[in-house]
Amino acid sequence: MSLVFTPTTQTAERSNFIGLDGAYMLIGTMTFSGSYATGGDTFTTGKNLEDLFKILGSGKIIAAIADLRGYTPEWDATAKKLKLFNAGAELSAGAYPAGLTATPVPCAFLGR
């Protein structure tokens, strides 16, 4: 099942991207539904995250930042999928845990 990433619009005058020294951060929420597939899930954004970073001339996602309600995210740049880990093990294939599906989950991605 695809994940839906929604960038957070900061204000009408500012972009969704936060400029850092040589990198950018994209902040938003992720909505989880359906089931997790072994090897990670793709995003539904209208454009994938790497496309969003390319808008600013920044095409590589380096990391998914922060814990997602007890799960550690890992960006698979080759497959363009987000993997989730808990206690060092990848989340098992199957329905997403209720803690992830209850409400959109705040998240951030770092890219350059």
Q: What local confidence, expressed as pLDDT, does residue 11 receive?
A: 44
DSSP assignment of 58-76: ---EEEEES-BTTBEEEEE
Stated pTM of the model: 0.78
pLDDT tens per residue across span 57-70: 656 777 778 789 99
Residue 13 has pLDDT above 60, yes or no: no
**Cα–Cα dist 51/62, whole Å:** 14
